[in-house]
Amino acid sequence: MTTSQQERYKERYKEKLTPWDIGRADFNLVEIVTQSILEKGRVLDVGCGSGHNSIWLAEQGFTVTGIDVSELAVERAKENASGAGIQANFLVMDFFEKEVSGRPFKLVFDRGCFHSYENESERRAFSEKVAGHLEEGGFWLSLIGSSDDPIKRPGPPRRSARDIVEAVEPFFKILLLKASHFDSNVQNPPQAWACLMQKR
């Protein structure tokens, strides 16, 4: 993520222009975790925002570390976790710049981080970084804006299934690539890919 992108996210949190912050865990995360073969263990939530996905994972028995580039988002995540009586570790950091303590993780989750990278080399570098934080056979669940969305509107970046496959396949086996939509508090939410992968 470029410096300008980071600053834009930080400003949107300051201005409370965060439509992705829905006040609950995304239903895609809930469905896939509860219906899959994932065992409890250490989880890294990249781009954790105000922490609702991290909190839900902690409630399911995972040991959670959430990271975000926005100081304000991390402050809110800590407050939300405290209010829910949940123990989770939240850090302000750039995923590309530093290694996250607590690795290797059993699961990495991101809701809208992978898709923020504009070109294939950046998305592949992000995928390699995720793989480097996972234990052998670990899992990555990514929610990604879909180029199949027919509605032309502001919203998340849109990636094709090919964009995803070309970036992740050197490092991951794709277990699930499902057409879905982002959980949202608005009508006609943006379409998304729910992609569950296992480290090669």
* pLDDT tens sequence for the chain (200 residues): 556 666 676 777 777 767 788 999 999 999 999 998 788 999 999 999 999 999 999 999 999 999 999 999 999 999 999 999 999 999 999 998 899 999 999 999 999 999 999 899 999 999 999 999 999 999 999 999 999 987 766 789 999 999 999 999 999 999 999 999 999 998 889 999 999 999 99
- Going from N- to C-terminal start, the domains of the chain cover 25-42+52-64+94-199
| Residues 6 or more apart in contact with residue 113 via CB below 8 angstroms | 1, 46, 47, 95, 126, 142
The two tokens of residue 157 are 């970046």
**Is the Cα dihedral 117, 77, 98, 165 positive or negative?**
negative
| Residues 6 or more apart in contact with residue 179 via CB below 8 angstroms | 146, 148, 191, 193
CATH-assigned architecture of domain 25-42+52-64+94-199: 3-Layer(aba) Sandwich (3.40)
| pTM of the full structure | 0.92
**Is the Cα dihedral 117, 165, 20, 49 positive or negative?**
negative
